[in-house]
Structure 1
Amino acid sequence: MLKSGSWRGSICDYIKGCSNKLDVVANNSPFMKKGAYLGMGIATASTLLTIRNACEVGRKGQCKKVLVVETSKLVGGQMAGAYLGTYMGGAFGGTVCVGIGIPTGGGGTIVCLVALGAGGAWLGDKVCSAVAGRFSKSMYEVIVE
């Protein structure tokens, strides 16, 4: 049973059925983690295919450049996505999502937290991937070419 002094207990005091919904989320979290790893694996495979395609055509100079730029985009995007997804879910989840969850009986809180986390991860990946790609391309051109 929940202690009313705990974070979970204080939120669940106001939302009917909150404890059961949080238990469902906790039980499904390993599947969510596996989904994140799957997404990272797909992004890595996509990057490797892009590099392979550039290198197989026989353009040696392009191969090195694509390797540097695409690897930078992958690493920068994954790091920023992980950070911003965690930050958005944690920082805004407690204030925004609880406000949404009270009128919806707790269901809105879960949906809101997942949406904030996923949205933050997507935004971090897209923005930092683009910035890392431009930066690494510029650095490659200055250093190598």
Structure 2
Amino acid sequence: MYDLYPDFNIDIETEQKKLLNADRIVLQFPMYWYSSPSLLKKWLDDVLTHGWAYGSKGNALKGKEILIAVSPGAKDEYYRRESGFGYTVNDFLRPFQATSNLIGAKFLKPFVTTGASSINDEKLSEQSKVYLKYINNENISLLGHFE
């Protein structure tokens, strides 16, 4: 996304057309400070407009699937409610789930690669294969509110 929009001037019409042509929307990003990179936040703000994505007449994305593929830097054991950061990765992704609910989309269980800051090439290659299989799976479950 940074290659497409290095100046942060997002082509809203082009992005909306891409979304209309997709059945499954994959948002893939590294997790920075328990959130997404700033350009993704701006993209959401600019592209998911009132009257198009939400509101009384905004239903362009209703029924589409949204899948988050995220790579937090810390290891898995830190993303626990009872230890570490005190929150799961899914907890940090709740704003995306709320957005999905607002636009009438189906929020699928995310694909998470923890420990991204220290992953080696072998593990990355292995995880890439798992990722490709996951995003092409037609039967990914929805993420529940308390998972």
Q: Which TM class, normalised by the smaller chain length?
A: under 0.3
Q: TM-score, normalised by structure 2?
A: 0.27
TM-score (norm 1): 0.27
Higher helix share: 1
Select the structure that is richer in strand: 2
